[in-house]
Amino acid sequence: MLYANRNLQLTETERQAMRRACQFNAQLMDFIRPHVRAGITTAAIDRLVHEYTLDHGHTPAPLGYQGFPRSCCTSVNEVICHGIPDGYVLKEGDLINVDVTTIVQGWYGDQSETFLIGNVSNEARAVTQCAFDCLYLAIDAVRPGGRVSDIGDAIVAEARRFGFSVVREYVGHGVGRRFHQEPSIPHYPTRQSRQDVLLPGICFTIEPMINAGTRLTVLDKSDGWTVRTRDGRPTAQFEHTILLTENGPEILTLTQDGPQRGHRF
């Protein structure tokens, strides 16, 4: 399938709108960055995200999305994604992924980072490094006319080098005027992704979720959102929103203060 219809390929005006949304989202991530430390609750992180977003005249996309009760996701240690902010107090040795998405004048910016809280275990640090490296290897694999599967091939190869696994149930996605839309961006190669072609003007997320142990997941039935590793071992994720231009991928959610390409944790 060619993702070439006009609803997915953005005009230059639409690309600028996406850039503005993503630039604010990156600014939001930098704002909360110094607060993500031992002693803060995940609910307090959410409150900071919520207030900063509203103070700037924008909307936190997760709040109320399919019933999600908070303005961001905070996924700690063995939680892969969609962790609901609550009274949990971050402590030395924790990993936390903070996932923020903002609606800016009808356009969505989306990204996440995994933060290391103080001295973490060697395994936690290694899986975080792998997730970060997988993100950039996947971005580097994107090209106009390339296959979606190029993304998954790059991620799986890197994860396997370290004996880690790639989550399959949750994937990257197209983003623009909607939170989630085509194309689907699996972080492992599939029959469909080997057929799907990416053309300039498509905007999507890449957000590999890398587990230290099994790739298998467990959904918390009590809240219907929180996804954990089945074996309880740590997991890490990084996410950027990508615009595919005629010259290659453009990362729209780059922060000023966060880890940059080549960072070592």
- For residue 57, the domain's CATH number is 3.90.230.10
Please list the residues that pair with 95 across neighbouring strands: 116
Instruction: State what percent of residues in the chain have pLDDT above 90.
Output: 97
Least confident of 1-5, 109-113, 208-212, 231-235: 1-5
Burial class (CB in 10 A: 0-12, 13-18, 19+), 229: buried
Q: Which band of pLDDT confidence, cut at 50, 70 and 90, is reported for residue 11? A: very high
What predicted TM-score, i.e. pTM, was given to this entire model?
Answer: 0.96
Residue 260 lies in a domain: no
Does 142 fall in a domain?
yes
Residue 191 in any domain: the answer is: yes
* DSSP bridge partners of 70: none
pLDDT in tens, 164-177: 999 999 999 999 99
Beta strands in 148-260 (DSSP E): 165-166, 172-174, 181-185, 197-198, 203-206, 209-211, 217-219, 227-229, 235-237, 240-245, 248-251
**Type and span of the H or E element at 72:** none
In a domain, 236, yes or no: yes
- Residue 257 inside a domain? The answer is no
Q: Does residue 263 form part of some domain?
A: no
The number of domains in the chain is: 1
| Domain presence at residue 15 | yes
Beta bridge partners of 209: 237
Q: What is the pLDDT of residue 142?
A: 98
Cα distance between residue 191 and residue 42, in whole Å: 39
Structure token digits, residue 187: 């972080």
pLDDT mean over 201-213: 98
Within a domain: residue 261? no
Which of 92, 95, 69 lies closest to 82 in space, CA to CA? 69
Check residue 76 and give its pLDDT.
Answer: 98
Give the domain range for residue 147.
2-251
